[in-house]
Amino acid sequence: MDASVAEQLREKLNCSICLGLYRDPVTLPCGHNFCGDCIRDSWRRCEQSCPECREPCPAGAEPRRNVALSQVLELLRAAGGPGPDPDSDPDPDPRAGPDPRAGPGARCSRHGRPLELFCRTEGRCACCACTVHECRLHERVLLDEERREREGQLRARLEVTQQRSTQAETQLQHLQQQTTHIQSSACTLASMVSSKFSCLLQALEKRQALALENIETAKTQALAQIQDEERQLRGHLEALTQYGCRVHDLLTQGDHQTFLQESQQLLEPPAPLGPRTPVQWDEDEQLSDLKESLSPLCGLLLEEQHPPRMPAKAAHSLPADYRNLTFDPASANRHFYLSHEDQQVTHHREPQGPARPGSFELWQVQCAQGFRAGRHYWEVLTSDHSVTLGVTYPELTRCKQGMNTDNIGRGPDSWGLCIQEDSVQAWHNGKAQRLPRASGRLLGMELDLDIGYLTFYSLEPQAQQLHTFNAFFNHPVYPVFWLLEGRTLTLCHHPVTQEAEI
């Protein structure tokens, strides 16, 4: 084929968008032809019209494949006519990235010219002809400049990658060290716990043997005392019986002279033995030492064997052991104002006056009533959160120590529940246990001194058990409360209940 004719034919078979040979040619309603991908890409970017004559195309219209033109292109390619370089990409995409063969001497697959530039807008290598046509308004740089910039970016990425690899390796080593430490620590702890439990079991066995021995000794002494008194009583009873028989014989004596002589010689009846000595046997005394030494362990047992009941308040009735309490004015902090016959306390900013002897320096107040034995239940109504309620032995210090504004549950002599806005904490012996958040408006407290537990309840919107302390209470306990400034706490009274004191 003549070169000029081939060149003219090539121009007729070029797409006016990509300026290359048609690929999958399609025809618009106006009659103009384009590459299928080119016209679709043009419609995605611009309005749906013909790029040559600007005739609008119907919305949703799909270009139709030009079968005749496709067959002509196939025949030309099969005959070796004008077309793309057989060594080049048979279906180049103008939106594709840089040609991987765009090294020295590489040529444009569309125009056959050397690739000297890089189009940053489309992200591909371009020749000078590309810059005149489709890349005319795009951002372009020399290939060497683009490569240097890309190499700089890749080196920076490589450095970041190496840093991250080093960091990951360091973290991996740290995790491996933690694994080794945890395994070693767990092994050591297991050995230590086993050893401690072994010692504890031995100590418990010795304690058990000693307790049983003490019980047996006390039993022997008590029984010996009883047997001794039985012998005395039996001897006394025998003497009384003999004396009674002697008197009876005299009463039946018929001879007056004999009766008078023998009755004159008869002695007085045996004297009474006097008051009995109480038997030395006290179950509480036998268990007192055990209660104190085994209190923590017994707490675990009590928790399983004697679960506290839910208060009868939940059943819309009052329990028989409900207590009407009042505050002790002598114990109230000087910022506390008592009212409603000492049933309500309010924390004010301004103090009432100087502190009274025996009053709390802390923001606390104690109830006038205390309990030594039995089961007791009472309820309080709070105006807001930031209050603490609990029970304490009489030895609870009134003085402020350190930065704490309360000491309920800070030592071994008190137990407390602290209601905050976002948390609830149970305090005893300086240790806090965080509990789920609960309503702190209407609260109930149940104390059983015989079994040994103290339970706190939230009663609104429904009865809910908050926490239970298990302990043997060795001294009388008093309800005690702490309030933040501006808070009010009321002891709930019910007329059907009765007061209970020590």
Q: What is the DSSP string of 266-285?
A: PPPPPPP--SPPPP---HHH
Band the pLDDT of 342: cuts 50, 70, 90.
Answer: very high
Q: Residue 257: pLDDT above 80?
A: yes
Contact in structure between 419 and 380 (CB atoms under 8 Å): no
Q: At 273, is the pLDDT very low, low, confident or very high (cuts 50, 70, 90)?
A: confident
Does the pLDDT at position 477 exceed 90? yes
Pick the CATH number of 3-144 from 3.10.580.10, 3.10.450.50, 1.10.274.10, 3.30.40.10: 3.30.40.10
90 cis-preceded (ω within 30 degrees of 0): no
Contacts of 96-103 with CB under 8 Å at 24 or more apart are 96/123, 96/124, 97/123, 97/124, 98/123, 98/124, 98/125, 99/124, 99/125, 102/143
**Any idea which of 36-45, 271-280, 285-294 has the lowest mean pLDDT?**
285-294
pLDDT tens figures, 388-438 = 999 999 989 988 877 788 899 999 999 999 998 888 999 999 899 999 887
Q: Which of 422, 424, 421, 386 is nearest to 405 (CA)?
A: 386
Rounded CA-CA distance 409/418 in Å is 9
Q: What are 214-251's pLDDT values in tens digits?
A: 888 888 988 998 998 899 899 989 998 998 898 888 88
* Six token digits for residue 246: 């002697």
Q: If we measure between CA atoms, which residue out of 423, 447, 465, 300 comes closest to residue 373? A: 447
pLDDT of residue 298: 53
Q: What is the pLDDT of residue 296?
A: 56
Burial 434-471 (b: 16+ CB within 10 A, else e): ebeebbbebbbbbbbbeebbbbbbbbeeebbbbbbbbb
Select the more confidently predicted residue: 374 or 108.
374
User: Widest CA span of the chain, in angstroms?
Assistant: 189
Q: What is the predicted pLDDT for the residue at 158?
A: 94
Query: How far are the Cα atoms of 143, 317, 331, 379, 502 from residue 493, in angstroms, in the given order?
Result: 92, 14, 21, 8, 19
Q: State the pLDDT at residue 463.
A: 86
For the cut 80, the answer to whether the pLDDT of residue 487 exceeds it is: yes
CA angle 475, 477, 482 (to 5 degrees): 140
Which helix (DSSP H) or strand (DSSP E) does residue 491 occupy? strand 488-491
Cβ atoms of 388 and 487 closer than 8 Å: no
297, pLDDT greater than 80 = no
Q: Which of 365, 331, 368, 325 is nearest to 343 (CA)?
A: 325
* pLDDT at position 295: 59
Confidence band, pLDDT 50/70/90 cuts, at residue 363 = very high
Mean pLDDT of 273-299: 69
For the chain, give the mean pLDDT: 82
Q: How far apart are CA 474 and CA 460, in angstroms?
A: 33
Query: What are the structural domain ranges in the chain?
Result: 3-144, 146-265, 308-491
Q: How confident is the model at residue 95 (pLDDT cuts 50, 70, 90)?
A: very low
Q: What is the pLDDT of residue 309?
A: 55
d(CA 63, CA 44): 13
Give yes or no for residue 310 having a pLDDT over 70.
no
- CA separation, residue 124 to residues 120, 135, 238, 244 (Å): 7, 10, 133, 140
pLDDT of residue 174: 92
Confidence category of residue 494, pLDDT binned at 50, 70, 90: confident
Whether 308-491 and 3-144 are alike in CATH topology: the answer is: no
**Predicted confidence (pLDDT) at residue 472 exceeds the cutoff of 90:** no
Residue 11: other Cβ atoms inside 10 A: 10
How far is it, in rounded angstroms, from Cα 22 to Cα 18?
9
Q: Which strands sit side by side in the sheet containing 414-419, from one edge to the other?
A: 364-366, 478-483, 387-392, 414-419, 424-428, 431-435
Report the range of poorest mean pLDDT among 46-55, 377-386, 411-420, 446-455: 46-55
pLDDT digit string, tens, across residues 58-68: 877 788 888 88
Q: Which residue, 61, 59, 81, is CA-closest to 13?
A: 81
Q: Regarding predicted confidence, which is higher, 45 or 56?
A: 56
Q: What is the per-residue pLDDT for 289? A: 66
* Range scoring the smallest mean pLDDT among 74-78, 103-107, 126-130, 199-203: 103-107
pLDDT mean over 446-455: 90
- pTM of the model as a whole: 0.42
Q: Could you tell me which residues are beta bridge partners of residue 378?
A: 445
Going by pLDDT thresholds of 50, 70 and 90, the confidence category of residue 191 is confident
- Whether 454 and 426 have beta carbons less than 8 Å apart is answered as no
pLDDT category of residue 2 using cuts at 50, 70 and 90: low
Specify whether the CB–CB gap between 322 and 378 falls below 8 A: yes
Q: Give which of 93, 155, 145 is closest to 122, Cα–Cα.
A: 93
Contact present, 273 and 232 (Cβ < 8 Å):
yes
CATH code of the domain made up of 308-491: 2.60.120.920
